[in-house]
Every structure is written in C-alpha cells, then in structure tokens.
C-alpha cells in the first residue's frame, strides 16, 4: 500500500503536494479569474452567496480546466486512492472572500448530498491560491470517516455542529498547486477568510468507475477521466439528451 493510501485510509484525507506546476497554476488562475468575472456580470444570487463566488463545473467554462481534470499528476494521485477507473461526478469553483461570520462552511459530511452505492466518492480540492488558517482553509476531524454514514450530518444540522465544533478540527494548510483529497465521510468545514486575499479552490468530486450514484442526481457529469465506467448503458449515456428535450417542450 502506498504512503498516500495508508494515510488516507487512517485519516480520511491526504494533502498531495505540488500536483500542479507553478506555470500550470498561473494559467489555471487566469481562467479561474475569468470565470469569476463572468459570475460578477451575470449577478446570479446563488453564485455570489455570502459574498463569495461559486459555480459548478468550471470545465464547462474553460478548456484549461477540462485539461486540469485530465492532468496525469492529478489522476495518478487519485488512482492511488480509488483505483484506475475514475469518473467525474461534478466540480465546484469557490472564491472565498473576506468575511466576519463565525463559520463560512459549517461542519458536515458530504455523503448525504451525493451518496454512491459503494461509498467511493472522494473530493480533490485543487488549491489555486494558498490556503492558510487566516484564509479559512479546510478543517477536518482526522479518522472521523471510519464511522461511515452519520444521519443528520449535513450543513443544516446544528446538533452535529455542536457535537463537532469547527474550532476543534485540524486545519489543512496548503500551497498553490497542492491538492487535498478527502473522503465524503470525513467531518469537514472551514472558518471564514479573515484576510483581504481570496482563497481560490476548485473541488473535484470523483468516484470509482465500479461505483455509481444512488437515485436521481441533481448534477452528475458522469465523465470518465481515466479507465472505464462499468455502469454506463445506452440509456444512461442518452440521459442528458432526453432531459434536455423534455425541458424544451
């Protein structure tokens, strides 16, 4: 077993250092900023919630970000954790800006938002900027993933947050080009950004090609980044087209 896999299985997360080169990160940041500028023009209330900038699937805006999801370094690190069949569920771009609130992202598990049958879904948080404690970096409870699915563990569950206060969680400090991988069972959240420097991340949700999402998915790209998707069928491959036609009627 690799060092990253062993650490991940014990702690529920792993910080992969220097996955993207400084040159590549500068290019990705250029398109990150272009996407944020687009959000500012669109003025969608959800995309600019709580003073932050947010959108799903930056690879739908930018060829550079599509290429980033196929970067060998990123997929090699992911393969160590979930195997060689890697399927994209979706990705989220987040620019976390200065805030005076107590917690930007409340302590929670991810599984209830995107459950899969074999529980292989993990997140790969690509750090486009640095992530310090003052900037509101990711915070986790190491080893909490071993408890599996905890009922009432979403961001809306205040009892869960009282039992696991965000101040007691371990900060994961990162540099541009690093990627933090974490299980969708690990308890995690983040404090506010207290600095004038935005914290820029793209969070990539991936699962094994031998696994699949449960039930109807609000968003699921179902794009094979490496290997094979063992659950794709003729009908599921047409799903997006069928839904689009239905909406257009």
Nearest 10 degrees: Cα torsion 102, 203, 213, 145: -60
Instruction: Pick 102 or 65 by higher pLDDT.
Output: 65
What confidence score (pLDDT) does residue 73 get?
A: 98
pLDDT for 245 beyond 50? no
pLDDT for 42 beyond 70? yes
Residue 171 binned pLDDT confidence (cut-offs 50, 70, 90): very high
What confidence score (pLDDT) does residue 243 get?
A: 43
- As a whole number of angstroms, the distance between CA 130 and CA 126 comes to 10
Candidate from 49-53, 72-76, 189-193 with smallest mean pLDDT? 49-53
Taking residues 135-139, report their average pLDDT.
97
pLDDT for 18 beyond 80? yes
Share of the chain above pLDDT 70, in %: 90
CB 153 within 8 A of CB 109: yes
What domains can be seen in the chain, in order of their start residue? 3-248 (2.60.120.620)
Average pLDDT of the chain to the nearest whole number? 91
In terms of DSSP bridges, do strands 86-96 and 179-183 run parallel, antiparallel, or are they unpaired?
A: unpaired
Taking residues 125-129, report their average pLDDT.
98
Taking residues 5-16, report their average pLDDT.
98
Which of these, 203, 246, 162, 234, lies nearest to 74 by C-alpha position? Answer: 203
Residue 235 binned pLDDT confidence (cut-offs 50, 70, 90): confident
Measured from the Cβ of residue 118, the count of other Cβ atoms closer than 10 Å reads 11
All residues at 6 or more sequence positions from 89 whose CB lies less than 8 Å from its CB, including other chains: 114, 121, 205, 206, 207, 213, 217, 219, 220, 221, 222
pLDDT for 80 beyond 90? yes
Q: Which of 44-58, 92-106, 121-135 has the highest mean pLDDT?
A: 121-135
């Amino acid at each position: 077993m690799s060092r990253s896999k062993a650490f991940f299985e014990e702690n529920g997360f792993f910080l992969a250092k220097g996955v993207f080169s400084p040159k590549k990160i500068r290019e990705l940041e250029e398109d990150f900023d272009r996407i944020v500028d687009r959000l500012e023009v669109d003025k969608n209330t959800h995309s600019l919630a709580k003073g932050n900038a947010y959108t799903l699937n930056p690879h739908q805006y930018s060829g550079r970000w599509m290429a980033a999801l196929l970067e060998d370094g990123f997929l090699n690190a992911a393969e160590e954790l979930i195997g060689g069949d890697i399927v994209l569920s979706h990705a989220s771009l987040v620019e976390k800006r200065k805030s005076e609130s107590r917690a930007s992202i409340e302590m929670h598990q991810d599984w209830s938002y995107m459950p899969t049958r074999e529980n292989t879904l993990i997140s790969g948080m690509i750090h486009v900027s640095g992530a310090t404690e003052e900037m509101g970096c990711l915070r986790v409870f190491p080893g909490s993933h071993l408890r599996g699915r905890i009922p009432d563990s979403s961001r809306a569950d205040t009892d869960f947050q009282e039992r696991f206060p965000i101040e007691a969680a371990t900060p994961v400090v990162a540099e541009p080009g690093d990627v933090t991988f974490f299980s969708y069972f690990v308890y995690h959240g983040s404090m506010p950004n207290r600095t004038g420097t935005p914290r820029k991340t793209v969070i990539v949700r991936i699962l094994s090609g031998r696994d699949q999402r449960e039930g109807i998915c609000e968003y699921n790209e179902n794009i094979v980044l490496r290997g094979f998707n063992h659950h794709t069928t003729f009908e599921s491959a047409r799903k997006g087209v069928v839904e689009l036609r239905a909406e257009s009627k």
